[in-house]
Structure 1
């Protein structure tokens, strides 16, 4: 729901001077508040601050002092990277670009008063609000599982300690043990992500525990880059991976974290490690602010990334209904630049150019065996629409696959510098 002024002020939070009325002409710099410091939010903060030349006051509110990227976290599980390599901080955004970085949890948004409140009792007024909260999980989407069980059956779909936990569980599996993944239904963060993860788990088990097995329980009839993954699994991990789709019970799965079992169409299977990736929705604050629709995600105006519910709010990344664009870090970064331009134009009168978007998703199947899929997009009245695309092909030679993987390493270095400065 959207909090009204009375209910907002009645929360008892110390709101302070930051909650002054929206800016009048001739007063202080226009204020932009950004909720969420991931690929979308941090990019938007950097570009608004940098490109406005100090004309806009930018505040980024993010609870984590070190942000672990979900993208490339699978490579940490596979042993190709260490955890520090996917951790990023916000010092450069503050020191080099003048962004006011606040490490706190946003607890409320009063869209009528244009204010944001935080768990520490602070309040921030805005002329434009950018919401980039990532995803949360749909309760009971996997019967028997909840976030209370995430230490027994980790999701690891938010990187950091969960990723460390899953990696440790995989490495501690008994000889000949069983790893199970409960894959998510559409739409979800990073469409190729679960299947790259399976590849990385198989890579670890092949070297450490070669008689172990992997079971993928999938409610979807097909998935991103399916032919490429299946070709790679047969080549690198023959006989190790079994996928059960909806025709054979993949859509009728429950779990028992205490007993460490999964039930597939009534058949109970004992497992040693279970990675449960539930159905997803927009991050909690988007729901609190009344920015979601019946889908659980946020409808947006494609040309500006503005909310269709409130034109003073822009929404980025995994939380959005983004038409043909997948939910990925590259997408969020691309959308953030469109939103930053729109916000800057609205608040300073600068020129805004037509929105253009792009995305590429790389996946590693085994050492030097990288594949990719991507597209360019444009804004229409109805959605972000795909213009053209590309995808790796089955049967490619080893040199091309190695080059694709090396390309992904360059992309990671470049995009994290672009996001965090």
Structure 2
């Protein structure tokens, strides 16, 4: 992928507002689109909240209900900053006040326990049933511990994953603070596909930043289920520059593929012939799959993800249900907050057009992923996507990746863009 500047990427992707990605200029008029229809959105993360907001943007009299059990949503992107200590949980907290008060979305604080597809309604944990004309689901991820012996979901209090931000983020942060200087932090990184491909490597970067300041004799070992990872060259360049030999990454073929964990001893065992790795703090990020509600609804494939029409994100199993974000099979688009945000707009436009008997659009979309190696050293990758031949495919020559060997000033600018990106996307979703 080619190198790029922020300005050139914005120009290539055409990021000038929602119209670029959803064809808002071609959306039907409100009188055409609503007709008393009710759209229910399940999940208030990056994808679901975006879909709810843009449904109302495209069709203000459409009835939109967002169902989300948590009053505060903590973004996974940005949670690594909390682990490093230069951001707080409040900095990554989002609420639904603006969606309710400024955009007219009905926000229901409850959990969907079942989908009654035949009668077009969802059942809530509190006992209510909510009917829908169209259902949009953005349930995010769940974990599958089955591939590693000795560890289960119940062990997440002792060995946190911190891959759903909130209490798990606080728990891992507390463990890092309690770890002695000279201790060993071990991350077990997941196999593909998983939420936020560069995320584990930003995490070890920023934990190394914390250690360098407060526990400089400490060691980080990454045991990886893969033989490579996103932005690997840029991360390793940054690790060498800032952290020396503090971070050791082990590929799957070189002892990184963990087969068993002893939770009590905080020990990981890889293939036979490799040493057991003992941790003072262990961060086990499990294999991932789509959220439980879509699995229970029978919408997933054998790999645990939801196949969709990638032009509209309508599920293959139910013509009235759309699934977007991390839970969906989205071609070349990665499982990321930026992808989910773009997909939320695509789905909102598709639903509004379908309700007014119009053909779906074929919009362009994009993903940008910024990562921090230190608070002042940023790196990024970006791509543009178009629906083609049944899948979301990368547009050749669009997007790019940060150059290797860049100056400290360049890296500092990208670190600044990282914060700007966070502020912009969260305002677009929840603001």
Mark yes or no: TM-score above 0.5. Answer: yes
> SS at the partner of 1:385?
strand
CA distance in 2, matches of 1:311, 1:411: 34
Alignment of 1:370-381 (within 5 A): 370-381=378-389
CA distance in 2, matches of 1:49, 1:141: 42
Q: Which residue of 2 aligns with 1:47?
A: 54
CA distance in 2, matches of 1:26, 1:264: 56
1:308 aligns with 2:316: yes
Q: 1:27 to 1:247 in 2, by over 3 A?
A: closer
Q: Which residue of 1 aligns with 2:87?
A: 81
Q: Which residue of 2 aligns with 1:6?
A: none
Structure with larger RCO (C-alpha < 8 A, sep 6+): 2
After superposition, the C-alpha distances for 1:263-312 in whole angstroms (9 at most, x for unaligned) are: 22343232100000000000000101111111100111111111112121
CA distance in 2, matches of 1:377, 1:80: 34
Task: Give the deviation of 1:252 after TM superposition.
Answer: 3.6
How many residues get paired? 396
After superposition, the C-alpha distances for 1:338-377 in whole angstroms (9 at most, x for unaligned) are: 0000101111356753221100010000131000001000
> SS at the partner of 2:390?
coil
CA distance in 2, matches of 1:374, 1:330: 10
Alignment of 1:18-417 (within 5 A): 29-54=36-61, 56-266=62-272, 267-349=275-357, 352-387=360-395, 388-417=398-427
Q: Tell me if the contact between 1:302 and 1:381 (Cα under 8 Å) persists in the aligned partners.
A: no
CA RMSD between the two structures = 1.6
Task: Give the deviation of 1:80 after TM superposition.
Answer: 2.2
CA distance in 2, matches of 1:43, 1:249: 41
Deviates more, 1:176-185 or 1:251-260: 251-260
- Gap regions ≥5 residues in structure 1: 1-24
CA distance in 1, matches of 2:161, 2:200: 11
Q: Tell me if the contact between 1:302 and 1:380 (Cα under 8 Å) persists in the aligned partners.
A: no
> SS at the partner of 1:97?
coil
Using the size of structure 1 for normalisation, the TM-score is: 0.91
Q: Tell me if the contact between 1:217 and 1:253 (Cα under 8 Å) persists in the aligned partners.
A: no
After superposition, the C-alpha distances for 1:164-195 in whole angstroms (9 at most, x for unaligned) are: 11111111111210000000000000000000
- Gap regions ≥5 residues in structure 2: 1-31
CA distance in 2, matches of 1:351, 1:95: 32
> SS at the partner of 1:116?
strand
Q: Tell me if the contact between 1:304 and 1:355 (Cα under 8 Å) persists in the aligned partners.
A: no
> SS at the partner of 2:349?
helix
> SS at the partner of 1:269?
strand
Q: Tell me if the contact between 1:379 and 1:385 (Cα under 8 Å) persists in the aligned partners.
A: yes
CA distance in 2, matches of 1:145, 1:236: 33
CA distance in 1, matches of 2:63, 2:260: 48
CA distance in 2, matches of 1:97, 1:351: 26
Q: Which residue of 1 aligns with 2:16?
A: none
Task: Give the deviation of 1:389 after TM superposition.
Answer: 2.8
CA distance in 2, matches of 1:297, 1:218: 22
